[in-house]
Structure 1
Amino acid sequence: MDAEFERHCSELVARERSGHTAVVEENLLYVWGGYMSVADDEVFLPNNEIWVYDLERGLWEVFHMTGEIPPSMSGTCSCSLNGHMYIFGGCDDNGQTNQIYCVNLTDGKYMWKKIIHEIGSAPSPRDKLSCWVHNGRIIYFGGYGHKQLTDVDSRNMSFIIDEASWVEDVFYGWNNEVHIFDPTQASWSEPQTHGRAPAPRAAHASATAGGRGYICGGRVMETRTSDVHCLDFKSWTWSEIIPVSSTPVGRSWHTLTAVSDSTLFLFGGLSVDCKPMSDGWLLDVEKKTWREVGHPYKNKPRLWHTACPGKDSDVIVFGGSCDYILLVDTGHCNDALVFQMQPYPLFRICEDYIAKNVRNCELLRNQLPLLPPTLLTAVQMRMSFYRPSKKQKD
């Protein structure tokens, strides 16, 4: 695998963070929330700002947010649907939540709206869950949170109690529940699933590909796993993918990103022995094979980061921690790592070559004005990405 680049070309860069949310829309990376370590404290990032990274120009901007602003938190679950970012769950200063908010990413207003459901019941409060987007609906899975004693059925294995954490009539634990939110009807529902469901878990990774939702690994009670399960959205049937090759070690706080209808990319996480990971793996869901892939970020372990699909099958990883996050001196990150997962189209290869070399090649500089207007604009935007940073100039 030919991996690409990591670059910060502007002096304005998003603050370091872990447990944040991020989505890509129209070649822009939107980052919200999360937390960072300050001295001995864990501090939530401001809830009224959203950071936007232009993947073409390599420039960061920050925008003020208004409206019904959600509380500052980490561990919330986000996705992009019809130009809006939806967030659900998470942990704030008062513990886990079960509220859902959305913000339009395309109108430039960045106004939050708290969604009050009109049909069904919201899931119980939780964080470190995951979601899939399918047919205009958001499908949530798993997470760690709390339920009232009256809502816990000891015969139902969809919720496993964390015996070290219950408080009076409130029980904390992991779940494997599937909940569907339909934005058009503001409705919650629970599908009747079939097959053997994955064990309840949190801090797992998920991806949507080919009409199916996949989950991988995560924290299952006191261990971390690398098992892979698939939920078919037509039949709502669970199945486990048993690999026929070597597999990644068990982990949590990693990411899983679809790079095709049959291929998923796993990156980073925290291993069973609490080691921050920097390995990358490709899973072929049809052949049921894992393959470890090389990349230039082996010295950049990440956990509780985000990973988003970009154009040309790129995977954009942002932020996260490079240490075991329960340490006092946790090292949070703010770099954007772009993984090239497929060969680029010839147009992009040419565009990148010109943008990267025009400053040092007089022939290219002289011929630049001869390019067609559309191509010239694209190259000029890309030149911004490759321009020297202030540190390089100094």
Structure 2
Amino acid sequence: MDYAASESHCSELVARERSGHTAVVEDNLLYVWGGYVSVADNEVFLSNNQIWVYDLQQGVWEVFHMTGEVPPPMSGSCGCSLNGHLYIFGGCDVNGQTNQIYCVNLTDGNYTWRKIIPERGCAPSPRDKVSCWIHEGRLIYFGGYGHKLLADIDHRNRSFIVDEAAWVEDVYWGWNNEVHIFDPVQASWSEPQTHGHSPAPRAAHASATTGCRGYIFGGRVMETRKSDIHCLNLETWTWSEIVPVSSSPVGRSWHSLTAVSDRTLFLFGGLSSDCKPMSDGWLFDVEAKKWTEIEHPHENKPRLWHTACLGKDSDVVVFGGSCDYILLVDTGHCNDALVFQMQPYPLFRICEDFIAKNARNNELLRNQLPLLPPQLLTAVQRRMAFYRPSKKQT
């Protein structure tokens, strides 16, 4: 398996560095919304009425204005893509955690936000740093950090662990291990009855979906950053903890987990138990229950509170995040896209990349471009923009 990465090029227009943002990939386009940066000693939320779009084929950024029922500026929202629509749930704005859900069509070019008012069921309590699985057209949320009224906390089943340092009168903050389902067609919330041994409450964990199974790894509760991996069957709602047969990644939070095949998950980065920003990459075989650490070209680029999306040919596209321990330093926000190659490329892409990369400096090859089949010529012309000389960022 080849773990090489695509070269990094950019246009004059570049998305601002950020952490705690939302990002999804649709049709080889990376969509980025929200998040925050640090200005002096302040955390500043980024514009809520802009969506940044990065063409992964050409290496070009564009920014579009958003209208409609625009969400407030936030960080820590849980974003996912379903049927060409971006859904965001929860997050933290200037008033604290929220439990609102918003939706925007990414394919019509209008970028009009819609606030979804549930028609049935009750929304989860306000929270951020929550994760999501998608299964059979439904959004399934797990965990997060947020607040509840004291009367709503069930101390018997330990589904909510109180943060002893955060409470005001009868409102308490803490971590949860709840599972909530949102059905976009019915605009309804529900909470399934799960079975088996549930994971401990946590936030800032990472999740991925393969088939009818949702996986979570790591996350933080109290002062502990975990290294466990759990699986929830999304049809029977049965939890099981997976005990790896090999050495495992160290405990962490603010990392990413991406399904790159039907049986393989890719783990990248995060903040370790000793508060070290990390850049290690691991593959987990869900059938063999085995972790394998891999070498990759971005080992000098630690990231935490970044996003990771599955792109073309099983590439994993990591964008933004911080290279510092943001609770102490909070200055090292990033705006580069790191592309991890998870499998050998098909012949078409190998030819496309080779021609695009070399045609600029090879007159003979450049003169023969019109002889290419139309489909390959179009792809090569788009790809040549990616390999053009880098321009000064603005």
Q: Same fold (TM over 0.5)?
A: yes
The CA distance in 2 between the partners of 1:253 and 1:25, in whole Å, is 23
- Conserved? CA contact 2:24–2:80, under 8 Å: yes
Q: How far does residue 346 in structure 1 lie from its aligned partner after superposition?
A: 0.5
The CA distance in 1 between the partners of 2:293 and 2:141, in whole Å, is 28
Give the AA of the match of 2:327.
L
Which SS does the other structure have where 2:302 is aligned?
coil
Q: How far does residue 371 in structure 1 lie from its aligned partner after superposition?
A: 0.9
Q: How far does residue 328 in structure 1 lie from its aligned partner after superposition?
A: 4.0
Stretch moving more, 214-223 or 269-278: 214-223
The CA distance in 2 between the partners of 1:367 and 1:9, in whole Å, is 27
Q: Which runs of 4+ in 1 moved over 3 A?
A: none
- Conserved? CA contact 1:6–1:336, under 8 Å: no
> What are the residue-to-residue correspondences of 1:241-256 with 2, within 5 Å?
241-256=242-257
The CA distance in 1 between the partners of 2:18 and 2:202, in whole Å, is 23
Q: How far does residue 156 in structure 1 lie from its aligned partner after superposition?
A: 2.3
The CA distance in 2 between the partners of 1:41 and 1:262, in whole Å, is 42
- Conserved? CA contact 1:9–1:384, under 8 Å: no
Partner of 1:192: 193
Give the AA of the match of 2:240.
S
Which SS does the other structure have where 1:290 is aligned?
strand
The CA distance in 2 between the partners of 1:9 and 1:21, in whole Å, is 20
Q: How far does residue 5 in structure 1 lie from its aligned partner after superposition?
A: 2.0
The CA distance in 2 between the partners of 1:328 and 1:275, in whole Å, is 12
Show CA shifts across 1:286-316 (max 9, x none): 0010000011101100000000001111000
The CA distance in 1 between the partners of 2:158 and 2:263, in whole Å, is 30
Show CA shifts across 1:245-294 (max 9, x none): 01101000000000001100000000000000000000001001000001
The CA distance in 1 between the partners of 2:322 and 2:83, in whole Å, is 30
- Conserved? CA contact 2:88–2:102, under 8 Å: yes
- Conserved? CA contact 1:40–1:328, under 8 Å: no
Q: How far does residue 234 in structure 1 lie from its aligned partner after superposition?
A: 1.5
The CA distance in 1 between the partners of 2:367 and 2:14, in whole Å, is 33
Partner of 1:104: 105
The CA distance in 2 between the partners of 1:295 and 1:53, in whole Å, is 23
Q: How far does residue 210 in structure 1 lie from its aligned partner after superposition?
A: 2.0
Query: Are 1:370 and 2:359 counterparts?
Result: no
Give the AA of the match of 1:108.
G
Q: How far does residue 167 in structure 1 lie from its aligned partner after superposition?
A: 1.0
- Conserved? CA contact 1:19–1:74, under 8 Å: yes
Partner of 1:218: 219
- Conserved? CA contact 2:322–2:330, under 8 Å: no
- Conserved? CA contact 2:161–2:176, under 8 Å: yes
The CA distance in 1 between the partners of 2:310 and 2:28, in whole Å, is 10
Q: How far does residue 330 in structure 1 lie from its aligned partner after superposition?
A: 2.0
Q: How far does residue 226 in structure 1 lie from its aligned partner after superposition?
A: 1.2
The CA distance in 2 between the partners of 1:256 and 1:3, in whole Å, is 18
Give the AA of the match of 1:187.
S
Partner of 2:306: 305
Q: How far does residue 329 in structure 1 lie from its aligned partner after superposition?
A: 4.7
- Conserved? CA contact 2:12–2:392, under 8 Å: no
Partner of 2:42: 41
Stretch moving more, 359-368 or 51-60: 359-368
Q: How far does residue 373 in structure 1 lie from its aligned partner after superposition?
A: 1.5
- Conserved? CA contact 1:198–1:229, under 8 Å: yes
Which SS does the other structure have where 2:107 is aligned?
coil
> What are the residue-to-residue correspondences of 1:1-394 with 2, within 5 Å?
1-391=2-392
Give the AA of the match of 1:326.
L
Which SS does the other structure have where 1:165 is aligned?
strand
The CA distance in 2 between the partners of 1:329 and 1:311, in whole Å, is 32
TM-score norm. by structure 1 comes to 0.98
Q: How far does residue 150 in structure 1 lie from its aligned partner after superposition?
A: 1.2
RMSD: 1.0
Which SS does the other structure have where 2:228 is aligned?
strand
Show CA shifts across 1:11-63 (max 9, x none): 11100000000000011000000000111111000000000000001000000
Give the AA of the match of 2:301.
K
Which SS does the other structure have where 1:364 is aligned?
helix
Task: Flag structure 1 segments of 5+ consecutive residues without an equivalent.
Answer: none
The CA distance in 2 between the partners of 1:51 and 1:292, in whole Å, is 32
The CA distance in 1 between the partners of 2:336 and 2:390, in whole Å, is 14
Give the AA of the match of 2:198.
A
Q: How far does residue 218 in structure 1 lie from its aligned partner after superposition?
A: 0.4
Give the AA of the match of 2:73.
S
Task: Flag structure 2 segments of 5+ consecutive residues without an equivalent.
Answer: none
Q: How far does residue 202 in structure 1 lie from its aligned partner after superposition?
A: 0.1
Q: How far does residue 378 in structure 1 lie from its aligned partner after superposition?
A: 0.6
Stretch moving more, 256-265 or 6-15: 6-15
The CA distance in 2 between the partners of 1:249 and 1:383, in whole Å, is 40
Q: How far does residue 149 in structure 1 lie from its aligned partner after superposition?
A: 1.2
User: Are residues 232 and 75 of structure 1, via their aligned partners in 2, closer, same or farther at CA, if it must alter by over 3 Å?
Assistant: same
Give the AA of the match of 1:259.
V
The CA distance in 2 between the partners of 1:287 and 1:386, in whole Å, is 39
- Conserved? CA contact 1:318–1:335, under 8 Å: yes
Which SS does the other structure have where 1:387 is aligned?
coil
User: Are residues 6 and 123 of structure 1, via their aligned partners in 2, closer, same or farther at CA, if it must alter by over 3 Å?
Assistant: farther
Q: How far does residue 220 in structure 1 lie from its aligned partner after superposition?
A: 2.1
The CA distance in 1 between the partners of 2:305 and 2:70, in whole Å, is 23
Which SS does the other structure have where 2:154 is aligned?
coil
User: Are residues 275 and 6 of structure 1, via their aligned partners in 2, closer, same or farther at CA, if it must alter by over 3 Å?
Assistant: farther
Which SS does the other structure have where 1:122 is aligned?
coil
Q: How far does residue 154 in structure 1 lie from its aligned partner after superposition?
A: 1.3
Stretch moving more, 31-40 or 366-375: 366-375
